[in-house]
Structure 1
Amino acid sequence: MHELNSEQRAALDTKGDVLLVACPGSGKTRTLIQKIALELSKASSHRKFVVALTYTHVAAEEIRDRIDAMGIDTSQLWVGTIHSFCLTWILRPYSLYHESLRHGFGVVDIFESDEMLDEIASRHLPLKNHHDCKYYATRTGYEFDRSTSPDRIEPLKKTIAEYHEQLLSRSLIDFEMMLKFSHDLLVSHAPIARRLGALFQFIAIDEYQDTREIQYFIVGMIIRESMDRTGLFIVGDPNQAIFGSLGGVAKSAAEISLLTGRIIKPLALHQNYRSSQQIIDYFGHFAVEPMFIEASGEWKDWTSSIVHDVSISKTDLVKGVADLVRHNIETLRINPESIAVIAPWWIHLASITRALVQELPEYEFNGPGLSPFGQNLDNFWYKVARIALTFAAPDMFRKRMRWAQELVDELTASGYASDSLTARELLKITNEITSAGKNGTEFLINFFEEFCHRLGFEPQPGSELSEQRDSFFRRMENRISDIQKRENVDVDDLETFRKVFRPRRGVVVSTIHGVKGAEFDSVIAFGLLEGFVPHFNEPEAEKDHIAKKLLFVIGSRARKNLFLVSETGRGNQWHPKYQSNVLEAVHDHPYTSRSINLVTSSP
Structure 2
Amino acid sequence: MVKLLTDEQQEAVDWQESLLLTACPGSGKTRTLIAKLVAEIECVRGTPRSICCITYTNTAVQEIEQRASEQLQAGDERYIYVSTIHSFCLHSILRPFAWLRPDLGGARRILTRDSPDFEAICQYAAAQVNLLQLNQADYEAFESLSVDTNGRIIGVALKNDAVCRAAPYFWARCAQLGYIDFGNIVYGAYLLLREHPGIALSLCARHPWFLIDEFQDTTELQVEMLKLLHATRRSKIFAVGDLYQSIYGFTGARPELVAPFGVHIGARSDLSLSLNFRSSRRIVNHAERLFPRLPPMTAAGSTRDYPVDPILIRGGTVFEAITEHFLPALEAQHIALGDATILAKDWFSLITLARELRDFGTPIVGPGARPYKRSRLFAQLAEQLCGAIVEPTGDTTRQLERALFHTVQDATGQARLGLFGFAGRQVLVRLQREALRLANLGHGAIAWLDAMSQATGDILLRAEYVDRIQSGLFYASVQEMKADMIRQKVDIFNLTIEHLGLFASPTRALRLSTIHYAKGREYSAVAVIGLRTGYFPFKYSDDVIAEKRQFYVAITRAEKLLMYVAERDRWGNAPSPFLGPTGLNVLR
Q: Give the TM-score of the pair, scaled to structure 1.
A: 0.82
Alignment of 1:141-220 (within 5 A): 141-146=151-156, 149=159, 152-153=160-161, 155-220=162-227
Partner of 2:111: 108
Q: 1:529 Cα shift?
A: 2.2
- Mapped pair 1:425 → 2:423: yes
Aligned to 2:336: 335
After superposition, the C-alpha distances for 1:155-187 in whole angstroms (9 at most, x for unaligned) are 222221211111111221111111111111111
- For residue 530 of structure 1, give the secondary structure of its aligned residue in structure 2: coil
Partner Cα separation in structure 2 for residue 163 and residue 145 of structure 1: 17
Q: Which has the higher contact order (CA 8 A, sep 6+)?
A: 1
Q: Using the alignment, how far apart are the partners of 2:45 and 2:126 within structure 1?
A: 52
**Larger deviation, residues 333-342 vs 548-557:** 333-342
* Cα displacement (A) at 1:20: 1.0
- 1:371 maps to which residue? 370
| 1:97-139 C-alpha deviation (Å, 9 max, x unpaired) | 2222344422224223244224544642685341354432221
The alpha-carbon deviation at position 583 of structure 1 amounts to 2.3
Q: Cα distance 1:118–1:308, how it changes in 2: closer, same or farther (>3 A)?
A: farther
- Structure 1 458/471 Cα, relative in aligned 2: closer, same or farther at 3 Å? closer
Counterpart of 1:270 in structure 2 is: 274
Matched residue type, 1:511? T
Q: Which amino acid aligns with 2:166?
A: T
The alignment partner of 2:224 has SS state of helix
Aligned to 1:299: 303
State the alpha-carbon separation in 2 of the partners of residues 240 and 512 from structure 1: 11
Letter in structure 1 aligned against 2:139: H
Aligned-pair CA distance for 1:387: 6.4
Change (3 A) 1:538 1:530: same
Which residue matches 1:559? Answer: 559
| 1: CA distance, partners of 2:274 / 2:39 | 23
Which residue identity is paired with 2:287?
A: F
Aligned to 1:510: 513
Q: Distance in 2 between matches of 1:553 and 1:200?
A: 32
Map of 2:5 onto structure 1: 4
Deviation, 1:148, is 5.8
Percent of aligned positions that are identical = 22
1:120, 1:163 within 8 Å by CA — same for their partners in 2?
yes
Q: Which runs of 5+ in 1 are unaligned?
A: 595-603
> 1:125–1:287: structure 2 CA closer, same or farther, 3 Å change rule?
farther
Deviates more, 1:497-506 or 1:240-249: 497-506
RMSD: 3.7
| Cα separation, 2, equivalents of 1:175 and 1:256 | 24
Whether contact under 8 Å (2:314, 2:567) holds in the other structure is yes
Residue 249 and residue 443 in structure 1: after superposition, are their counterparts in 2 closer, same or farther (change >3 A)? farther
Q: What letter matches 1:30 in structure 2? A: R
Structure 1 residue 233 and structure 2 residue 238: aligned? Answer: yes
The change in CA–CA distance for 1:79 and 1:451 in structure 2 (over 3 A counts) is: farther
Displacement after TM superposition at 1:527 (Å): 0.7
Q: Deviations over 1:211-266 (max 9, x none)?
A: 111122223322322x23x232111111111111221122566422455x443444
In 2, Cα distance between the equivalents of 1:554 and 1:81? 23
Q: Secondary structure at the match of 1:300?
A: coil
**Partner Cα separation in structure 2 for residue 286 and residue 168 of structure 1:** 46
Cα 1:108–1:459 change in 2 (3 A) is farther
Task: Return closer, same or farther for 1:535/1:69 CA change in 2, 3 Å cut-off.
Answer: farther
Q: Quick check: 265-274 or 493-502, which moved more? A: 493-502
Counterparts of residues 18-417 of structure 1 (less than 5 Å):
18-72=19-73, 73-111=76-114, 112=116, 113-118=118-123, 120-121=125-126, 123-124=130-131, 128=135, 129-133=138-142, 134-146=144-156, 149=159, 152-153=160-161, 155-225=162-232, 227-228=233-234, 230-251=235-256, 254-257=259-262, 261-287=265-291, 291-312=295-316, 314=317, 317-359=318-360, 361=361, 363-371=362-370, 391=388, 395-396=394-395, 399-400=398-399, 403=402
Which digits, 9 at most, give the CA deviation of each residue in 1:355-409, with x for residues without a partner?
Answer: 22332x3x53332222356667xx9988866765564967236625863996799
Aligned partner of 1:426: which letter?
Answer: G
Please tell me whether the aligned partners of residues 405 and 419 of structure 2 are also in contact (alpha carbons under 8 angstroms). Answer: no
**Cα offset for 1:59?**
1.3
Which residues in structure 2 correspond to 1:425-574 (within 5 Å)? Answer: 425-433=423-431, 434=434, 439=447, 442=450, 445-446=453-454, 449-450=457-458, 452-458=460-466, 481-490=483-492, 495-502=498-505, 504-539=507-542, 542-543=543-544, 545-570=545-570, 572=571
Task: Kindly provide the CA deviation profile for residues 338-369 of structure 1, in whole angstroms up to 9, marking residues without a partner as x.
Answer: 3221111111112312322332x3x5333222
> In the aligned structure 2, how far is the partner of 1:44 from the partner of 1:200?
12
Contact 1:147/1:537 (8 A) holds in 2: no
Residue aligning to 1:581: 577
Asked if 2 retains the 8 angstrom alpha-carbon contact of 1:366 and 1:504, the reply is no
Query: CA 1:555–1:503 in structure 2 vs 1: closer, same or farther (change >3 Å)?
Result: closer
Distance 2:574 2:158 in 1: 22
Alignment size in residue pairs: 564
